[in-house]
Amino acid sequence: MQLGVRAQESSLSEVFAPGERLRMPHYQRSYSWGDREALDLLADLVDAMDASIAHFIGALVFVNGEEPGHLEIVDGQQRLTTLTILLCVLRDLETDPALSKELHKLIADEDRPLLGEGANWRIALNYDVGAFFRDSIQTPGATLKLDNEPGDSESQQKIIANAAAFHRELREMAPERRRALADVVTGGCALVRVVVDNKDQGFKVFRVLNTRGKEPGAHDIIKTELFQRAKFTADEANAYAERWAEHESLLGGGAFDDLLRQIRAIHDRSPKGDLFAGFQKAVLNKIDPRTFLDDMLPSYVAAFRVVESGQDPLDMGAPQGVLDSINQLRALEHKTWRAPAIQFIVERGLTDPMAPDFFAALERLSYMSQVMVQERETRNKRLARITEAVKNDRVLFGKSGPLSISRDEARKLRDRLTTRFGTYGQRRAIALRLCAAIAGGRTIPPESDATVEHVLPRNPPEDSHWMITWPDPVKRREQCDTLGNFVLLTNKVNQQADRLDYRAKKEIYFNGGGGQDFALTRDLMEQDAWTSDVVRRRTEKLADILMQAWGLAG
C-alpha cells in the first residue's frame, strides 16, 4: 500500500538548499513565536556549539505545492522562520563578504536578470507578512536597520522583536564564535524531513500534529477545518485567508481563540471538553462554512471587539449607557456574560431600543452571580437561557425570565453586600461599580489605574493609632474587607497611604492624591474619624446605593 508519506533524516542546509522553494499554505497560522521561544532556541544552539554535538529540531512536514518545485510547510513554520531570522542576523553581522554571501545562499538564490528571474527566496511567508519579511529580514543588510514601528500586525511585531533579540545577543559575540554558530545552524541542526504527496493529506497531518499533545491556537485548527470543508479554489483560499488574517490582526491570536469559545457557547447547550471537538459538533456540522466565514464571523468579530474593549470602534451607534454597562461587566472576574452580550449585539445590534435595558439587566445579574459566588453550573445555565432568548423579549424580560431577580435573590444579595469581600477581584469590581452608582460618579474602565485602598489597613502596625481606635481584633477582621472600608485611589497614592494612621492617609488622599476624583472616596473629606460605627454605617449606605442602582430597593 502506498502511504504517500516520505521521511528522511536531513539538515537545515539541505532543507534550505539552492533551488528549494518553501511556501506557507493558506491554512497556516501566522508567525507567533516571541523572543522567549527565539532566545531559547538560540541558547540550545549555542550549547550544541560548545559541546560539539548536533541539535535536533524535530520533524518538518511539507506537502507538494500546486506549483511545480514548491513545497508547502505543513508543520515547522515557527522553527523555520525563526532560523531564517537567525541566519539573516548572522549574515548581516558577518564582516567577511565571502562568508556573508555563503550564508545568504541559504536565504535566497541570486537574481538572474538575463533570464528575467528575480531572487528566489528560500522561504516565503503568507501574503500578510511575506513582503514585509523579505524587506525587513531577508534582504541583505536589513537586520542592521530594523523598523522600530513595524505596524499593527502581531506577526510583524514578533518578527522584528526576535531579530532585535538575536542582534543584541550576537553582536557582542566574537566573530569566530558567530561563525561556529552559523556552522551549527546550517550543518548541525538535525531534523526529520517529511513530505506528504497531496493537499488533503496535508490538511490531515496538520490537524493531527496540532491537536495531539500540544495546542497552538484553536483558531488555526478551526480555520483548517473550515477551509477543507469549503473546498476552496486556490484564489478563493487566498482571499479567505486574507480576511481571516485581518480578523486575527484585529483581535490577536489568544483573543481569536476566546471569540471562538464564545461562538461555541452560543451554539452549544453544554459547552464542555475540547474546544475544537465541541466547535466542530455545535457549529461546523450545522452551518455551511462559506456562510460562517462570509456572514457570521465578521459580525461576531465586531461584537467581540465591543465587549472586549467597552468601546464602539466601528461606530455601531452604541448608546453611552450600554457602553457603561459593558465596562461594568468587564470588571468582573467571571466572563460568562460575554456569550449573551455578543449574541444580543449580533442578532439585534447596539441601537436596538431594548439594548440599554438588556445590558443593564445582564450587568445586574452578573454582579449578583459573582458576589453571591453561585455555582458555575447554575450561573452558566442561566446565562445560556439568556442567550437562547435574545430575540424573544417576552421570555427575556418576563417576570420569571432569565434576567429577572426574585425577591428572595434580592434579599440575599442585600445581605451579602454588607459582609466581607475576601478576594481582590471581588473588591475591585464592586468598588468600581459603586463609583458609577454614587451620585456624581462615573463608570471607570477596568484597565484604569484605580485600585482599592483599605482605609483601615488589613494589618495595622502594633504601635499605630489604629490599635487605639480599633482595639477589638475581631471587629478589625470582620469590617476591614467590607464595602464601608473601601476607597479608590491610583496605585501610586495607594502605596503612599499604605498603613498610615487615618489623618495621615486623608492628607495623602486629598492633598494632591486625587482622591476627590473618585466618587467612592469623596465622602471621606467630611469624615474626621474612622471607627467601627463609621464603617458599619457606610457599608449599609453603600449597599443601599447599589440596590437602588440595580432597581432592587424596597
Residue at a domain's end among 309, 344, 365:
309
Structural domain boundaries, residue 94? 5-211
Describe the crossing of helices 154-170 and 77-93 by its angle, rounded to 10 degrees. Answer: 40
Residues 138 and 263 in one domain: no
pLDDT digits (tens, 9 = 90+) for 93-121: 999 999 999 999 999 987 644 444 446 88
For residues 355-362, average pLDDT: 98
Residues 186 and 67 in one domain: yes
Cα 111 to the center of its chain, rounded Å: 41
Please, which pLDDT band fits residue 374 given cuts at 50, 70 and 90? low
Residues 184 and 266 in one domain: no
Residues 6+ apart with CB under 8 A from 120: 19, 21, 108, 109
Please, which pLDDT band fits residue 211 given cuts at 50, 70 and 90? low
- Is residue 325 in a domain? no
* CA–CA dist 102, 83 (Å, integer): 16
Residue at a domain's end among 211, 234, 265:
211
**324 in Cβ contact with 291 (< 8 Å):** no
Looking at the DSSP assignment, which residues form a beta bridge with residue 261? none
Residues 167 and 304 in one domain: no
Residues 305 and 268 in one domain: yes
Indicate whether 1 pLDDT > 50.
no
- Is residue 522 in a domain? yes
- Is residue 336 in a domain? no
Residues 111 and 93 in one domain: yes
pLDDT digits (tens, 9 = 90+) for 260-297: 999 999 998 777 777 888 888 889 999 999 999 999 99
Indicate whether 369 pLDDT > 70.
yes
Residues 284 and 140 in one domain: no
If 0-12 CB within 10 Å is exposed, 13-18 middle and 19+ buried, where does residue 52 land?
exposed
Residues 492 and 479 in one domain: yes
For residue 397, the SS3 value is: coil
Residue at a domain's end among 211, 241, 260:
211
Residues 169 and 293 in one domain: no
- Is residue 284 in a domain? yes
Query: Most confidently modeled of 120-124, 205-209, 357-361?
Result: 357-361
Residues 56 and 157 in one domain: yes
- Is residue 418 in a domain? no
- Is residue 91 in a domain? yes
For the chain, how many structural domains are there in total? Answer: 3
Q: Euclidean distance between the first and final Cα of the chain, in Å?
A: 78
* CA–CA dist 391, 247 (Å, integer): 26
For residues 400-413, average pLDDT: 95
pLDDT digits (tens, 9 = 90+) for 15-71: 998 888 898 877 677 788 999 999 999 999 999 999 999 999 988 888 887 677 788
Residues 80 and 140 in one domain: yes
Output the pTM of the full model: 0.71
- Is residue 548 in a domain? no
Share of the chain above pLDDT 90, in %: 59
- Is residue 45 in a domain? yes
Residues 288 and 200 in one domain: no
